[in-house]
Amino acid sequence: MTDALTSATPGSPVQFEVATNVPTTHGTFEMRAYRDLVTSAEHVAIIARTPDGAAPGDDALVRVHSECLTGEAFGSLKCECGPQLDAALDTIAAEGGVVVYLRGQEGRGIGLINKLKAYRLQEDGLDTLDANLALGLPADSREYGGAAGILSDLGIRRVRLLSNNPEKRRQLEEHGITVSALVPLVVGISAQNAGYLDTKRDRMGHQLPAHLESGAAG
């Protein structure tokens, strides 16, 4: 892991830009900014040391989190993204670990405007997957090569992945990151998003409980 300003490892899909410490309501984190050399998106690694002061290493607890303006900034109840990010930051603040925050992945990669168009179709009865397909868009177009590049830059090649999504595991392993375990992150369930979560479980393979109850956490 380099501490210099702006550097790129040959062959890496990301370029490190800057590191700084940022106090937040969850704790004080080191934030390392990266430029994605494939998509030009700007990503952030949010890093917390372990309770004994060590930097996260192999088998670190890691959350790979996709940007969600509606859920994180506006408090939308149509998804669980805001509570997931909050829970992940609280967890790494307590235990040590990394949240890799990927920008440019709004709406599972379709963008903000298309996401709102999909929401409009959901008002007519389509589920989250069919709404994307009705717009001529993929159900999920996210790609995690940038996340793998960031983890490699941090010297992390093996992780415990804080996620319910086995596709993240598959893609990270395809890019050379070993996932020793999927650690469930079941938070933010509400009456407004229960159907959305059912679709993610039943049609997209997310590892979620068979019976979702409002207020569940994990």
Question: Could you say which of 108, 140, 153, 169 is catalytic?
Answer: 140
Burial group, residue 198, by CB count within 10 angstroms (0-12, 13-18, 19+): middle
How far is it, in rounded angstroms, from Cα 35 to Cα 48? Answer: 21
Question: Could you say which of 142, 153, 170, 201 is catalytic?
Answer: 142
Residue 35 is a catalytic residue: no
Alpha helices in the chain (DSSP H): 69-72, 81-95, 106-109, 112-123, 128-134, 145-153, 166-174, 194-204
Residue 142 is a catalytic residue: yes
Burial 30-67 (b: 16+ CB within 10 A, else e): ebbbbbbeebebebbbbbbbbeeeebbeeebbbbbbbb
User: Which residues have a catalytic role annotated?
Assistant: 140, 142
